Each structure stands twice: as C-alpha cells, then as structure tokens.
Amino acid sequence: MKNNLINTKFTLPCGVRLNNRLVKSAMTERIGNKKFEPTRGHVRLYEDWADTNAGLLITGNVMIDHKHLESAGNVCFEERMLPQLNRWANAGKKKGNHIWVQISHAGRQTNKFNATRPLAPSDVQLKKIGLFGKPRAMSEGDIEKVIEGFVKTALLVKKAGFTGVQVHSAHGYLLSQFLSPATNIRTDKWGGTLENRSRLLLTILREIRKQVGQEFPLSVKLNSADFQKGGLTEEESQEVVKMLDKEKIDLLEISGGTYEKVAFFLMNEDEGQVRESTKRREAYFMDFAKKVRAISDLPLLITGGFRSFDFCNEILENGELDLIGMGRPFITDREKIGGFIEGNVPVLNNLVIRTGIKQFEDAAEGGYYARQLIRFSKGKPFERNLSPTWSSTFLVLYEMKKALSRRIFQ
C-alpha cells in the first residue's frame, strides 16, 4: 500500500496538531431541548463519533441567536449551560480527537415556524416553498448585536472545553448573505463593494481572535460561489480568501450553494455511477481549491463526494487539500470509519435517497439523514430502509412540532 497520508498528523498555523487528516464535517443534530440546551443525545452522538478516531469532529449549527435558528432543534450557548457543554466537549475529544463548534446565524433562512420576519442584510425574501417570511433589513444596532453574539458564543466554546470554533459563512446563512450581492443590497458601510460586504465576517473574526487568543483554532466555512444569478462569484470568493489569509485563520473549509441552490445535496453518487452534475460540482470545488492554493497558504478542507481511500490519499499526496471532510459516511458507515483511516476499508458507501418525484428529492435526502441522526442520539442503530416519501415530509413536521413545543415552554 502507498503511504497512508490520511492517517498522518497535521499541524495548524496556531500550533494545534490533529491526529489525522479525516474530518467529520458539520451535520445539524436537531436534538436540542426546549431551553436550547444540549442533551444526552449530543453526548451519545459524539462519543460514538469519537470512537471512529477521526482527527477532527465539527458540530452542526450552533446558533448565536435563539430567534434565528437554522432548525427548531438547534442549541444556543449560554453561560448557564457550561456543565452540559463540557460533557458534550469531553465526549467528542475522548480519543484525543479535536471537536470544534460551528457557530452561525440563519438570517433570512430562518423558517416561519421560528421567525415570521427574520433579520437579514436586506429585505430580499427567500424563494423556497413558502416556508420563509420576508426579512427585515438589519439596523446598525442589529449588526452590532450579531457581532457580540458570535464573539460571546466563541468564548463560551473555549470555556466549555471544545478545542476550536468554525464561523459559518456559507450555504446562504447570515454571513453568507452579507457577502452576496444578491441578498445584500445595502448602501452603507456593510454593503455595496466586496470590501464592505466582507466587513461583517472580518470584524467577527478579529473580535473572536482577541477573545480566544492566538493558540485557539479559528476556522471559516466559505462558499466558493452561490451558484445562482447575481450571487457571490468564484472571482469574488477568491478575493475574500485573500482577506482571510491576512487574518491568519487556521482552516478554510470550501463549500457552495444556498437554500435556493442546494449544491451540497448534489454531491451524490448513483449506485456504481457518478452523475454528471456531481462530477461537475466536485470538480468545481477541487478546481477552486487549486486556485486558492495559488493565492493563499491557508490550510484547506473540502467536504462532499469523497468515498474512496485511494482518491482521498491521492488528493492529499498532490497537496491539493490538507484535510478530507465527510458527512454522511459518519451516518451510513460509522463503524467502518476507523478501518478507512487505517487503510483497511477501500470505499465507503454513499447512499442516495430517491422518492421518484423531483420536487421532493432534496427534502427526502435531508429528512432521511436527519432521522438517522435523531435515531443515533437515542442509542438506536442505522436503519437503511426508512421511507424516502415519509422522510421528504419529516423535516417540515418536525420543525412545526419542535417550534410549537418551545413556544409553549416560553
């Protein structure tokens, strides 16, 4: 066997060392309780994922504002939660793994069950099956509260014993909305030029760095492009990368798309055959990574489409990436991840969920994997034969139920 680069250590710019190059990338857990607290389910999930020996585990969306949730089951960190947060952190790092918290604000991608008039850079409404209300353009005061929220949450991440933080500026969430000219039509210092549209992200990173120090890993998830007319382009994203390079962050994760163009659901393989759309999307991210290499020294992570040990090893050997990110294999093939890292498992499964109705496919994929994570959090095993049709309606019904229970509690 060739050199197994997946199972080699990697040192981040801040000096922190990861045990290997495989990352469990963020997947929303959706299992927070009525008080927005983590539960025993979080501990169970991350104990099991720690057992895979993946070098880095990144949590799903932890929201900085309980009024702007990505899911009604999200967690929002508060000082009073430190004992529960510490148990979660300890679960994720029990095998010497690193566990980073992805922090985010949903902005206009907050559904109607959680906010009828969510805050956003501008009042540009999301066009997605009527689940999202018309947003209200943020005031200067609103923006300052968002900065404070990100910084406060990042500091709690460190205090709770997690080993790093990832700022979510992709997939159409708030910081991504500020970067995109399609959703940010402001004319003040927070909009217009790319420099202005980047101001919020850069301000947040600088303030977080002041609070957590130079030796605590600070990462960013960034769209290579929004993949929609008038959105953030590849060329603009490269300019943002140059700005991030000057901020000395420790890891850049490249992704793409928004709720309106869900690129991360397109990263799928049919049985024995890769769809042409998938090939183009995966090639796009890898091509973008090469362009980033030419302009930046930032360590790079890409998530999506990686299943073969040989291919992952080749990418690392060529220096195209520093870390390999996976999501769904940590659900479908959780017990095989350790063998994959060791080089004993050549290929991981990529289970594609289909209803046969085009309009339902995204929802079926998302609902299927959400149901599996909820099962895992309860100590139940992976169930391959969950109904795709039922899965396609699951998320909407689950959001309604969770949101209603939280309103009753409050």
214-239: per-residue pLDDT in tens?
999 999 999 988 677 788 899 999 99
The CATH number linked to 193 is: 3.20.20.70
In a domain, 371, yes or no: no
Tens-place pLDDT, residues 19-31: 999 999 999 999 9
In a domain, 318, yes or no: yes
C-alpha to C-alpha distance for 212 and 123, rounded to whole angstroms: 33
Q: What percent of the chain has pLDDT over 90?
A: 76
In a domain, 69, yes or no: yes
In a domain, 387, yes or no: no
Q: Is the pLDDT of residue 337 over 70?
A: yes
Q: Are 361 and 354 in contact (CB under 8 A)?
A: yes
Which residue would you say has higher pLDDT here, 39 or 405? 39
**Confidence at residue 255, expressed as pLDDT on a 0 to 100 scale:** 85
Residue 305: give the domain boundaries: 10-349
The pTM of the full predicted model, rounded to 2 decimals, is 0.93
In a domain, 409, yes or no: no
Q: Which long-range contacts (C-beta less than 8 Å, at least 24 apart) are formed by 286-289?
A: 286/315, 286/320, 288/224, 288/225, 288/234, 288/237, 288/254, 289/254, 289/320, 289/321
In a domain, 375, yes or no: no
In a domain, 1, yes or no: no
User: Crossing angle of helices 140-159/82-92, nearest 10°?
Assistant: 60
In a domain, 386, yes or no: no
Total domains present in the chain: 1
